[in-house]
């Protein structure tokens, strides 16, 4: 049943994909099956929708609302539901937060607004203004999405700590800083707060190293395909079973090569294709400007899935 106390998000949290049909419309049947597949994985602690993995950049506000409705109908309060808030506008973020709260969300994943990419890190008051708009609409727990410094969208550590002090409903960060030294600093500094703020890793390319540092869980689009392996490595770390964690990491190595090779923009295309190869999605349509993958890349995804010990099907994606 749904956890009533989700005040400190932790554990394994897959981020759901968004299936489209051949007309590039949301495929509600495929989406709800995908959500049922995820919630059937024993050991996950929540599911995230309307995030990167769902191609939220290409979803209209009404489609994001539709996604929330379909998710609530499918999950039926069996597990906490985290809803992404991704927009360049703080006013739209406020609207999305209110819609998510009214629609039964358990927590919100707050993306940095793209409008801050040209030096917004030098204006911490902009980040404060963005979160003020959101917390004005809801007291749901918030997960702050921390980007790499190179993106121009990262919150410098002093700003990150100020946001956590100023807005106590920030209960976790999804850490994608992509810097092991800074990642450890985030863990130490945020755990030292009163109350502590969780650090959820999304460093899928070096997940074992990240989790060993003391993360409180992981929130990743790769979980849309391999949530069972994320649960296994997370539990192995909790049990201090390093040999088992390393063995699972060997499997994840091949999957990281399948999903996170260059160019990174195609990572969620690749996850969709993987689910087709595994027989869990009917097709892997993506919305422009994303494009379908080459035959050579599909063969690489299939090969890496099999190297990771996952059983693929002999089928091609219909386009």
Is residue 276 in some structural domain? no
pLDDT band at 315 (very low <50, low <70, confident <90, very high): low
Mean pLDDT of 247-262: 97
Is residue 186 in some structural domain? yes
> What percent of the chain lies above the pLDDT cut of 90?
94
pLDDT band at 2 (very low <50, low <70, confident <90, very high): very low
Is residue 224 in some structural domain? yes
Q: What is the predicted pLDDT for the residue at 181?
A: 97
Cis, peptide link before residue 18, omega less than 30° from 0? no
In whole angstroms, how far apart are CA 263 and each of 38, 91, 174, 266? 26, 32, 22, 6
pLDDT band at 313 (very low <50, low <70, confident <90, very high): confident
pLDDT band at 196 (very low <50, low <70, confident <90, very high): very high
Domain at 137, CATH number: 3.20.20.70
Is residue 314 in some structural domain? no
pLDDT band at 5 (very low <50, low <70, confident <90, very high): low
Mean pLDDT of 48-52: 97
Is residue 236 in some structural domain? yes
> What percent of the chain lies above the pLDDT cut of 70?
97
Q: Tell me: the pLDDT tens digits for 128-164?
A: 999 999 999 999 999 999 999 999 999 999 999 999 9
Q: Tell me: the pLDDT tens digits for 63-111?
A: 999 999 999 999 998 999 999 999 999 999 999 999 999 999 999 999 9
pLDDT band at 1 (very low <50, low <70, confident <90, very high): very low
Q: In which domain, by residue range, is 106 found?
A: 11-240
Mean pLDDT of 257-275: 96
Mean pLDDT of 237-264: 97
Is residue 61 in some structural domain? yes
Q: What is the predicted pLDDT for the residue at 318?
A: 53
pLDDT above 60 (res 54): yes
Rounded to whole angstroms, the Cα distance separating 157 from 183 reads 11
Rounded to whole angstroms, the Cα distance separating 38 from 230 reads 12
Is residue 83 in some structural domain? yes
Residue 198 near residue 8, CB atoms below 8 Å:
yes
Is residue 4 in some structural domain? no
Q: What is the predicted pLDDT for the residue at 6?
A: 77
pLDDT above 80 (res 214): yes
For residue 152, the tally of other CB atoms under 10 A from its CB is 15
Average pLDDT value over all residues in the chain: 95
Q: Which residues of 244-258 are buried (b: 16+ CB within 10 A; e: fewer)?
A: ebeebbebbbbbbbb
Mean pLDDT of 15-26: 98
pLDDT above 60 (res 184): yes
Number of domains in the chain: 1
**Which of helix, strand or coil describes residue 198?**
strand
pLDDT above 80 (res 3): no
């Amino acid at each position: 049943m749904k956890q009533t106390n989700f005040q400190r998000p932790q554990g394994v949290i897959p981020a759901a994909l968004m299936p489209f049909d051949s007309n590039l419309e949301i495929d509600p049947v495929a989406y709800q099956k995908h959500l049922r597949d995820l919630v059937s994985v024993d050991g996950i602690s929540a599911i995230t929708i309307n995030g990167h993995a769902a191609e939220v950049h290409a979803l209209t506000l009404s489609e994001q609302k539709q996604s929330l409705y379909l998710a609530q109908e499918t999950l039926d309060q069996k597990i906490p539901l985290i809803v992404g808030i991704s927009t360049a506008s703080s006013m739209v973020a406020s609207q999305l937060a209110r819609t998510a709260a009214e629609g039964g969300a358990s927590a919100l994943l707050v993306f940095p607004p793209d409008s801050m990419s040209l030096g917004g890190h030098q204006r911490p008051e902009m980040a404060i203004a963005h979160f003020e708009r959101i917390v004005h609409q809801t007291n749901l727990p918030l997960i702050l999405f921390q980007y790499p410094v190179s993106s121009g969208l990262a919150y410098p550590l002093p700003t990150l700590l100020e946001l956590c002090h100023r807005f106590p409903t920030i209960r976790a960060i999804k850490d994608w800083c992509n810097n092991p030294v800074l990642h450890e600093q985030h863990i130490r500094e945020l755990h030292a707060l009163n109350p502590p703020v969780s650090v959820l890793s999304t460093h899928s390319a070096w997940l074992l190293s990240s989790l060993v540092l003391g993360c409180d869980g992981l929130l990743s689009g790769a979980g849309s395909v391999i949530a069972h392996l994320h649960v296994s490595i997370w539990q192995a770390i909790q049990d201090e079973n390093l040999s088992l964690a390393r063995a699972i990491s060997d499997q994840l190595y091949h999957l990281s090569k399948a999903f996170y090779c260059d160019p990174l923009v195609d990572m969620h295309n690749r996850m969709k294709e993987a689910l087709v190869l595994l027989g869990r999605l009917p097709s892997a349509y993506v919305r422009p400007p994303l494009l379908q993958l080459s035959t050579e890349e599909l063969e690489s995804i299939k090969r890496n899935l099999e190297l990771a010990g996952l059983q693929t099907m002999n089928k091609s994606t219909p386009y």
